[in-house]
Structure 1
């Protein structure tokens, strides 16, 4: 089955995720004392990708973590999590920071996010090549099945937008 990427008019803001325990400034002291910056990583290209052969993490979030760790003079340690467990992982001090974690209203109740987005990205959908859909509305039918990564902001956005699919 051939597919094509259909970029539709929806934009989502990404922000730099808060550091765990940021309220008491304990995380930065912990990072400097341990010599490690533990970043939360959840499989989702292009943000985080774990090569199955080398088991090395790459991606936008990993690159940001490496740069931050280099600037701090510490070692970056990737800590696997899921988008659904990211907030709990930060709260439980399983990792110090997670990049590319969208500040949903629910997440803002649990963590303090920076005010300004790190960057914006377009939200797209992969559809069959013979699909006539050009908008989200045209995809929102009972016949349409949609798959998203559980616990992500895309999960929330698509669930809110697509009431029939």
Structure 2
């Protein structure tokens, strides 16, 4: 009789442990497959983390309205696919990943996939291509005989301005070992550094740099050889986003590429920057 009671106790204990493990696994599975878009629809608003970098994310200082390729994508996806309002949340490149982890926004706009970032967040498919290039003064004597070789620009005594925390910062730092890297908080600061000649080089995304070069005839564009950080740009998303939710966004981006919307938004961004420069 005593033996039977012991067996029953052990079976009960095993049942409790089994149930607990099942609940734990269920919770883990749920955490691994968060229904991001369902939560956004319940809240009624899609929050887009916005760090400025033309032509991808731009903000009018007079109206505080956002434009640019990824601003249009975020707005269009929220309003037409999720059927919710869209809210742009100001941030910096240093804070954009941490803000996504901290649930300050649902999507981080214009984010490059890197292995380090992939440890913390997920990524959509690329909406546009990315490459780092250099801007220099045409009359800078340091580059009189320079080619496109990286070694011609990676020398002691050369100052390179980058946006702190952006992919261009990490990519430039990995390649340029002798030059001095000036990490500045934003795009305006890096451009001012080049204009004032505190910086010899502005290292940033090629499309962003090209916009600035179009508006300033004293600028020369350099496409380094070998290419630096050639990759795609997409959206950063919560790391535990469900595969189904990720597929929704990826399919949406594919359609916007195929029907020419992204190319059209790129042209609009270039035109907006050119108009502002006049």
Shorter-chain TM-score range: 0.7 to 0.9
Question: Which has the bigger relative contact order, CA under 8 A and spacing at least 6?
Answer: 1
Shift of 1:22: 8.3
For 1:63-78, what aligned pairs fall within 5 Å after superposition? 63-70=72-79, 71-78=81-88
Q: 1:160 aligns with which of 174, 178, 194?
A: 174
Post-superposition Cα deviations, 1:51-102, rounded to whole Å, max 9, x if no partner, equal 1111111111101101111221111100111111111111111000012111
Within the alignment, does 1:124 sit opposite 2:124 as a pair? no
CA contact (8 A) 2:97 2:108 kept: no
Aligned mates of 1:141, 1:22 — CA distance in 2:
48
Partner of 1:39: 48
Q: What secondary structure, in the 3-state scheme, does the structure 2 residue paired with 1:100 have?
A: strand
If you compute each CA radius of gyration, which structure gives the higher value, 1 or 2?
2
**Matched residue, 2:155:** 141
Task: Give the deviation of 1:126 after TM superposition.
Answer: 1.0
Displacement, 1:45? 1.2
Give me the whole-angstrom Cα distance separating, in 1, the residues matched to 2:72 and 2:172.
28
**TM-score, normalised by the number of residues in structure 1:** 0.80
Deviation at residue 156 of structure 1 after TM alignment = 0.3
Structure 1 residue 140, shift from structure 2 partner: 0.6
Q: Secondary structure in 2 aligned to 1:155?
A: helix
Q: Structure 1: give runs of 5+ residues left out of the alignment.
A: 1-20
Residue aligned with 1:148, SS: strand
Report the counterpart of residue 11 of structure 1 in structure 2. Answer: none
Match of 1:111 among 110, 118, 121: 121
User: Per the alignment, in what secondary structure is the counterpart of residue 112 of structure 1?
Assistant: strand
Partner of 1:58: 67
Deviations 1:20-63 (A, max 9, x none): x9843232122101111100000211121111111111111101
> TM-score, normalised to structure 2's length?
0.49
More helix by share: 2
